[in-house]
């Protein structure tokens, strides 16, 4: 789930096919990205605004808009290209990324940030499907791993464009070079509209990546060291497409400070995955 006080652009939510929408309406609204699953963990579809209830710091709110699969996606990739990723793992990243971009819809954008000790934007968010492939083909893993700094860059760059932002992070999980403390980046994650799905190798499970998934409303995926990544990437994209985007205009709460969010779905057995709150 994702949320954030946004000076946001309501028109965007309903203009599914618009690649360069123009926005004229500005409201102080909150966006909340919600995954609803049934008892067998399958996404529940067909819900409307009436099916959701939301509390902001305990105060019931009126859900304005619920969108499902209508808003184009901004799929940001933040990949560890440090020395530990060289070899077969890099080949898997290349192959999985190519499969992923082939699954994007016409208005979806993709972009790529890589990090060793340096964090680099290899592909800005765009409709160019081949940029990620070209960048990863040319990439040569080297150096240490600035995972925390790389994720901060991914979270902020993910807000550079209006739309639903998914950040897929791949790393072997060991930060060896970042400047920022994890807590600083988690704090930004709480304020961000970006939903992060970290992917890491089993055994290297850093608490930071678990926390990142929690505060942004995403989910941590662990893969075996030699496991193909394509199916994981596709599963994440599929899950993200099954999420609902809820917007509401906060009423009866202070603007500043931490806002605890409670999102419920008025159907029995429905489970909600949503971020725990947002920073006003």
Between 188 and 237, name the residue whose CB sits nearer to other proteins: 188
Render the burial of 149-188: b for 16+ CB within 10 Å, e for the rest.
Answer: bbbbbbbebbbeebbbbbbbbbbbbbbebbeeebeebbeb
Give the nearer residue to other proteins in terms of CB position, either 190 or 273.
190
The correct pick among 70, 83, 222, 262 for binding other proteins (CB under 8 A) is 83
Comparing CA positions, the residue from 197, 185, 236 lying closest to residue 78 is 197
- The whole-angstrom separation of Cα 20 and Cα 50 is 30
What part of residues 180-199 is at the interface with other proteins (CB under 8 A)? 180-181, 183-185, 187-188, 191-192
Fill in the per-residue mask, 150 to 179: x = in contact with other proteins (CB under 8 A), - = not in contact: --xx--xx-xx-----------xxxxxxxx
37 close to 273: Cβ distance less than 8 angstroms: yes
Closest distance to other proteins from the beta carbon of 264 (Å):
29
Rounded CA-CA distance 141/115 in Å is 9
Minimum distance from CB of 236 to other proteins (Å)? Answer: 23
Q: 240: buried, middle or exposed (CB in 10 Å: 19+, 13-18, 0-12)?
A: buried
Residue list 115-154, contact with other proteins (CB under 8 A): 117-121, 143-145, 149, 152-153
Comparison of 148 and 213: residue with beta carbon closer to other proteins = 148
Q: Is 253 in the site for other proteins (CB under 8 A)?
A: no
- Find tokens 């995955």 and name the residue: 273
The smaller minimum CB distance to other proteins, of residues 92 and 178, is found at 178
Minimum Å distance from CB 112 to other proteins? 11
Q: Which is nearer to other proteins, 92 or 192 (CB)?
A: 192
Closest to other proteins by CB, 14 vs 160, is 160
Strand ranges (E), 21-130: 27-37, 52-56, 59-61, 63-68, 73-80, 109-115, 119-126
Q: What are phi and psi of 47, to 5 degrees?
A: -80, 155
Q: Which stretch binds other proteins (CB under 8 A): 57-65, 79-87, 213-221, 262-270?
A: 79-87
Specify the DSSP element, H or E, that contains 262.
Answer: strand 258-265
Pick the closer one to other proteins by CB: 135 or 213: 135
Q: Is 21 exposed, middle or buried (0-12, 13-18, 19+ CB in 10 A)?
A: middle
Binding mask of the shown chain, residues 195 to 234, with x at each position contacting other proteins by CB under 8 A:
--------xx-x----------------------------
Binding-site size, other proteins (CB under 8 A): 39
Characterize the bridge pairing of strands 52-56 and 27-37. unpaired
**Residue with smaller CB distance to other proteins, 1 or 135:** 135
Instruction: Give the H/E segment covering residue 244.
Output: strand 244-248
Q: Are 30 and 5 in contact (CB under 8 A)?
A: yes
Residues that bind other proteins (CB under 8 A): 82-84, 113, 117-121, 143-145, 149, 152-153, 156-157, 159-160, 172-181, 183-185, 187-188, 191-192, 203-204, 206
């Amino acid at each position: 789930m994702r949320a954030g006080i946004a000076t946001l652009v309501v028109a965007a939510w309903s203009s599914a096919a618009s690649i360069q929408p123009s926005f004229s309406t500005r409201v102080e609204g909150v966006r909340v990205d919600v995954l609803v699953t049934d008892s067998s963990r399958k996404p529940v579809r067909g819900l409307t605004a009436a099916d959701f209830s939301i509390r902001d710091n305990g105060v019931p709110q009126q859900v304005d808009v619920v969108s499902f699969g209508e808003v184009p996606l901004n799929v940001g990739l933040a990949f560890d290209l440090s020395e530990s990723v060289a070899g077969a793992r890099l080949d898997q990243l290349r192959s999985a990324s190519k499969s992923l971009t082939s699954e994007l819809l016409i208005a979806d954008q993709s972009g790529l940030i890589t990090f060793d000790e340096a964090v680099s934007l290899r592909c800005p968010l765009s409709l160019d499907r081949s940029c990620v492939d070209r960048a990863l083909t040319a990439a040569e893993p080297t150096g240490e791993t600035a995972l925390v700094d790389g994720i901060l860059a991914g979270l902020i760059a993910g807000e550079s464009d209006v739309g639903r932002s998914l950040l897929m992070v791949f790393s072997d999980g060991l930060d060896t070079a970042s400047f920022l403390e994890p807590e600083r980046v988690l704090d930004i994650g709480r304020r961000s509209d970006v939903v992060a799905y970290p992917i890491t190798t089993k055994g290297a499970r850093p608490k930071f990546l678990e926390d990142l998934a929690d505060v942004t409303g995403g989910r941590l995926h662990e893969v075996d060291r030699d496991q193909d990544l394509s199916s994981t990437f596709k599963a994440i994209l599929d899950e993200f497409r099954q999420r609902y985007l809820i917007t509401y205009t906060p009423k009866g709460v202070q603007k500043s400070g931490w806002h605890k969010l409670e999102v419920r779905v008025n159907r029995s057995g429905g489970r909600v995955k949503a971020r725990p709150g947002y920073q006003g």
